[in-house]
Structure 1
Amino acid sequence: MTVLPPGSVAPQFTLPATPDQKLSLADMRGSPVILAFYPADWSPVCGDQMALYNEILPEFHRAGAQLVGISVDGVWCHAAFANDRKLHFPLLADFEPKGEVAARYGAYRKIEGICERALFVVDREGVICWSYVSPLGINPGADGILEALDKLNARSPAQGVLP
């Protein structure tokens, strides 16, 4: 299975963000959304990747974008990881049914039972405008995300901002 390419409508989802709160893609409609699927909370590469995104979160916000991390780990694991890494964006639990959302994006590794290290930038209307899969052991960084957000904002400026 390959990840959904640009031009695909992003599959809708609602996933737990905390033990008592859920977040839907529809909740974020109207602004670009960065979906960062990753294999596991406590793996070294995932920790580095999420820490990098946390560090440059202000750049994502300046582009009008919201960031969410998604893995098959449960909400309590996410809570401990986010607290340890001082993350300031939601981590969503694609825990049960395991990997269902990741599979809809073509980003689930069924044999290993984990998400691919896959990135998606979804535009304000819910269409994927950029996607990328990195090898599991390599932090994909943020350059591709930032370039996709720049292109997206060049073609449709954020509401209330004059071009």
Structure 2
Amino acid sequence: MGQLLMGQLLAPGVSAPDFTLHVTPDQTLSLDDLRGRSIVLAFYPADWSPVCGDQMALYNQVLPEFRKYDAAVVGISVDSAWCHQAFAETRHLHFPLLADFEPKGAVASQYGAYRNGEGVCERALFVLDRDGIIFWSYRSPIAVNPGADGILDALDRLENQETSHGRT
């Protein structure tokens, strides 16, 4: 079990590493494209696993809540863009799924959210502020759907912090 030791997730206050990943086989999305709004990064192990499917479906259902905070939601796993496309269509997902596919897990590794022994992403969540600084990060046990409450709580606290600092 030695090689399964988990890395440290990037902590609040750290600037989120920029990345550009495929969102479809012929389109990419970079973190920089989303700057200026809050961003929710949801790293997850695999498209078709039951817990991941439920987790992404839940985020799809609560998209209106995320939008109240002007937050962009992005799912990231090591699946290919083709796999993501089929999964998103089947699940009717209305937010991008990014393929951390080649080199495998490179972005997840930068965030401390890659499981080397298994070759999949951790079930890890990050909320970034408008300047791309990590405000909140959380790792869930791989078999547990972390839900949306932690994200919504972090977005609420972030909005209150920005409002109290004169930013709206």
Range of TM-score over shorter length: over 0.9
SS at match of 2:88: helix
Q: Which amino acid aligns with 2:139?
A: V
Query: 4+ runs of 1 displaced by more than 3 Å?
Result: none
Q: Determine whether 1:92 maps to 2:136.
A: no
Q: Which amino acid aligns with 2:35?
A: R
Alignment of 1:133-144 (within 5 A): 133-144=139-150
* Shift, 1:19, TM fit: 0.8
* Shift, 1:156, TM fit: 1.2
Tell me the TM-score normalised to structure 1 length: 0.96
Q: 2: distance between equivalents of 1:90 and 1:16?
A: 10
Match of 1:53 among 50, 59, 66: 59
* Shift, 1:155, TM fit: 1.4
Matched pairs, number:
159
Q: 1: distance between equivalents of 2:15 and 2:160?
A: 20
Q: 2: distance between equivalents of 1:78 and 1:125?
A: 28
State the partner residue of 1:152: 158
Map Cα deviations across residues 102-124 of structure 1 (whole Å, 9 max, x no partner): 00000000110000000000000
> Which runs of 5 or more residues in structure 1 are unaligned?
none
State the partner residue of 1:126: 132
Q: 2: distance between equivalents of 1:24 and 1:61?
A: 19
* Shift, 1:95, TM fit: 0.0
Q: 2: distance between equivalents of 1:153 and 1:29?
A: 16
Map Cα deviations across residues 35-81 of structure 1 (whole Å, 9 max, x no partner): 00000000000000000000000100111100000000000000000
State the partner residue of 1:7: 13
SS at match of 2:10: coil
Identity of aligned residues (%): 67
Higher mean alpha-carbon deviation, 148-157 vs 49-58, is at 148-157
State the partner residue of 2:71: 65
SS at match of 1:156: helix
